[in-house]
Chains A and B, each alone.
Chain A
Amino acid sequence: MPMLGADMEAGTLVEWKVAPGDQVTRGQIVAEVDTEKGAIEVEIFEDGTVERLLVSPGSKVPVGTVLATIRGTGEPVGAAPAPAPAPVPAAAAAAAPAPAEAHRLRVSPLARRRALDLGVDVSRLTGTGGGGAVTVADVEAAAGKPAAPPATAAPSMRRAIAAAMSRAKREIPHYYLATDIDASRVVSWLTARNAQVPVTERMLVAAPLLKAVALALRDAPALNGLFVEGEYRPGTSVHLGVAISLRQDGLVAPAIHDADRLSVPDLMQALGDLIARVRKGGLRSSELADATATVTSLGDQGVGTVYGVIFPPQVAMIGLGRIVERAWAAGGQVTARPVLTATLSADHRVSDGLVGARFLTTLDRLLQQPEAL
């Protein structure tokens, strides 16, 4: 059971995507597990053949439990490591093993968590949501519960966020910086581009902003990496975490891998893909474990400035506010321009304010040449 977040302790195996005897290759999705962060697709880290599946669907097991044994290419039969101890029995909530699904069931992460809380087997439900998606209301109807207001995240996700954020505030000496950036160039570049392409290729301003953040992080190794076991390990790539809210409540911050090397349209596509999978399920284990720094943006909610709490073991959180038209003085003249307030929360164990200030200056400089991003 992989660790899919700083404070994850256990996960429930939902479904195997492979069977004993199957050939698997590194990166292939082999199982789906349910965690505080919703349903996650687990990738395999080596090539080989599935020898035994040790945990059955519906079982909740601690992080580190061996889920299956893989025989590496060329290894003799039986050379795989000994099976882990018997899995901890699932809580009463875990339903009987789900039958193999003929097709991918669409279940919102919230509905899936509600189903676990209520002991409902979602694979037996017929969804009434868009595309046949199983909704919270379907789950509650199946459980014979009155439809409660679906206002809050499942307690498990709230607990996971509480644990990670408490740890951040307990262990990480944050320092905070902010800068106002003239966003007129990036806004007009985007508007002009979006006017020339069909709606299917239109981009959100988030795409060039994330690209600029990723490039600026590449130049700031003391902000892009992980603080693990008392020492800082700079990242070798920029895997940019993006805080994405679940529509009702709660959030996850999966990573866009190698964000600094994606073109802006590719980054937009990666972001869209990630948001869709956050909302519908299907995040991959590597996306939850790999982020080297994270961006949070509350601009959609009209917030001008956001100072984030660093997501451990990362060492920096970049906050992007809403782009608003403000009075801007330049060259002895005051004009109205779209302005973005960018902030940095960084770990003082690893970097000092000067490094952070350079980072924000680089971000500003990059955003003045959006066509070069």
Chain B
Amino acid sequence: MTPDEIRSKVVACLMDVAPEADPATLQAGRPLRDQLDLDSYDYLSFLVRLHEVLGVDIPEADYGKVATIDALVDYLTPSLPG
């Protein structure tokens, strides 16, 4: 999967959790939780959605590495070849 494909799936998962957000105004380098006002439950729901869509299971210990869309794409790209 290309980084662009991963990015579009990540954004789609975010929209499932925060349907009122506007994908056009999302900033890829800004922490998601601040930007979308996600609480810890929303964030967990987002990770569950990523798991359903991409089959990835991001361990709790890595939460700090995936705070922004850019960071998430970088984190996921090596584990989603082809």
Contacts and interface: CB of A to CB of B under 8 A. Distances in A.
A199 B13 CA distance: 15
Contacts of A272: 41, 45
B20 A275 contact: no
Contacts of A108: 19-20
Interface residues of A, number: 27
A130 interface: yes
B73 interface: no
A198 interface: yes
A191 interface: yes
Contact of A194 (B17, B37, B39, B60): B60
Judged by DSSP, the binding face of A is: helix
Contacts of A229: none
A300 B48 contact: no
B58 A199 contact: yes
B40 interface: yes
B41 A131 contact: no
A129 B20 contact: yes
B48 A275 contact: no
A247 B60 contact: no
Nearest to A301: B39
A333 interface: no
A204 B19 contact: no
Interface residues of B, number: 21
B5 interface: no
Interface in B43-82: 44-45, 47-48, 51, 57-61
A150 B51 contact: no
Contact of A202 (B15, B17, B37, B44): B44
Interface in B2-21: 15-20
A245 to B, nearest CB: 7
Contact of B16 (A131, A204, A271): A131
Contacts of B57: 198-199
A275 B41 contact: yes
Given A200-B48, A204-B44, A248-B20, 12 more contacts: A108-B20, A129-B20, A130-B16, A130-B17, A131-B19, A198-B51, A198-B57, A199-B57, A202-B60, A204-B41, A247-B37, A300-B40
Interface of B: 15-20, 37, 39-42, 44-45, 47-48, 51, 57-61
14 contacts: A108-B19, A129-B20, A130-B19, A135-B20, A195-B61, A199-B51, A202-B44, A206-B41, A247-B42, A271-B41, A272-B45, A275-B41, A276-B45, A300-B39
